[in-house]
Structure 1
Amino acid sequence: MNTALAITYILTVMLLIATPGPVVALVVATASAAGPRKAFSTAIGTNWASLMLIALASYIIVASAAVNVVLLNMLSLLGCLFIGYLALDALKNNPASADAQSPDKQAMQGGLWHGFIVGISNPKDIIFFISFFPQFIQITSSSKHSLILLSLLWVVIDFAILGLYIFMTRKLLSKTSSHLISRGAGVALLLIALSGLIYNVRELFNLS
């Protein structure tokens, strides 16, 4: 294994995942509103989505399959609408009163399926993985083994960083701060959804 290349990949992925985005915003909002257990379930959902996108990207890399750009933009557009729904839900809920909420209400805050939909909602990540993984494909002598190793490293780093976000949200902040973080995460999700909608509508208009 190329150790230097592996270290470079690990550091790069750490920076990419730690950068605030829809996944981080959703996990932080869930940790503030519904607790670490629901937040970890959300993280599992986002990781599951990442694995599916990585698997598809790996297939495209190996098989040199063509990407349907219009389909990717349509799926991304639907994902932005769902992210917007989650943002409004996060802004509407009050983490300080989470204990008083009904189980059905708490179940709406994050969770496995919400995490999966947010994670899968930007299928342009497939294009990212297609362009990103080949830079590190020489990490082993076999391209297939390299893709497996790169995927496993991504999963481990993803869980570690999201777990750190959850720990910081629940252990190091007061209830008032958690409320502010939940609101801030909701605003971040809403801005991400709006920017995604504008971008994808513009892309679809240019392709038509």
Structure 2
Amino acid sequence: MTLDYYLIAAYALAILLFLGTPGPVTLLVVNSSVSGGFRAGLATVIGTNMASLILIALSFVVVQGVLAVSPSALLWLTLIGSFYVLYFSFNITISKVSLERREELPSRHYFRNGFVIGMSNPKDILFFIAFFPSFFAVSSDIHASMAILIIIWMILDYSILLFYSATFSKLTNEKMANLVSRTSGAVLFLLAIYAIYSTLSNISNA
């Protein structure tokens, strides 16, 4: 079995850029960590990572020819996801963070939010379905390639997102916590509007 180390390095760099730039998942982790502490951030990251693994599996079966995803279906799926992100971000923007009540919501609440946003996030859908398969050639064996890509993804995904969680969960000033929470919600809202606009444009031109 031969490995393409240049392609592996390119894949790792792509993940760093993907997770390092503000997107729905990153902003959700920040918001959960501010409002619920590190425990909430960890549960959110587990949820988003679970969603990403499902999207990775979906991209694999598409490449293998088991399932066909038409470009138009991908656009409509992206549009539906964008509307959900819009709805979710609006709720974040109008909600108030109370540092005294950080531990009230159970971990499953944050896990569910992370999973649903991960599955409906237009950025993730396009990355895993359209872009991710281009790295399947990291190994001469397709199954080994999948294992390598998943391991690298999980290591970098957990490391980067938990860094965000650990950083923002340390906020102790309630005004600053609310500012960060509402700002992340507002940016998420704007990203959703842009995703809806661009997707509708692509649908109309298809």
Fold similarity call, TM over 0.5: yes
| TM-score, scaled to structure 1 | 0.84
Q: Within the alignment, does 1:61 sit opposite 2:63 as a pair?
A: yes
Aligned to 1:155: 154
- Which whole-Å CA distance do the structure 2 matches of 1:134 and 1:109 have between them? 31
**What's the RMSD between the two structures over aligned residues?**
2.7
Displacement of 1:131: 4.8
Does the 8 Å CA contact 1:56/1:126 hold for their aligned counterparts?
Answer: no
- Which whole-Å CA distance do the structure 1 matches of 2:126 and 2:29 have between them? 24
Cα deviation code 1:80-116 (max 9, x no counterpart): 2221222122122222x2424894xx46996112111
- Which whole-Å CA distance do the structure 1 matches of 2:177 and 2:135 have between them? 38
Cα deviation code 1:130-184 (max 9, x no counterpart): 5534543342221221122112211221111000001111236744332221111
Aligned to 1:190: 189
Does the 8 Å CA contact 1:47/1:155 hold for their aligned counterparts?
Answer: yes
- Which whole-Å CA distance do the structure 1 matches of 2:16 and 2:146 have between them? 17
Displacement of 1:5: 3.5
Q: Which amino acid aligns with 2:89?
A: A
- Which whole-Å CA distance do the structure 2 matches of 1:170 and 1:102 have between them? 12
Aligned to 2:53: 51
Instruction: Extract structure 1 runs of 4+ deviating beyond 6 A.
Output: none
State the identity %.
Answer: 33
- Which whole-Å CA distance do the structure 2 matches of 1:109 and 1:36 have between them? 14
Q: Which amino acid aligns with 2:190?
A: L
- Which whole-Å CA distance do the structure 2 matches of 1:18 and 1:102 have between them? 28
Q: Which amino acid aligns with 1:87?
A: S
- Which whole-Å CA distance do the structure 2 matches of 1:153 and 1:206 have between them? 36
Does the 8 Å CA contact 2:83/2:192 hold for their aligned counterparts?
Answer: yes
SS at match of 2:69: coil
- Which whole-Å CA distance do the structure 2 matches of 1:128 and 1:69 have between them? 14
Aligned to 2:87: 85
Mark the runs of 5 or more structure 1 residues left unpaired by the alignment: none
- Which whole-Å CA distance do the structure 2 matches of 1:205 and 1:7 have between them? 37
Q: Which amino acid aligns with 2:100?
A: D
SS at match of 2:204: helix
Does the 8 Å CA contact 1:25/1:189 hold for their aligned counterparts?
Answer: yes
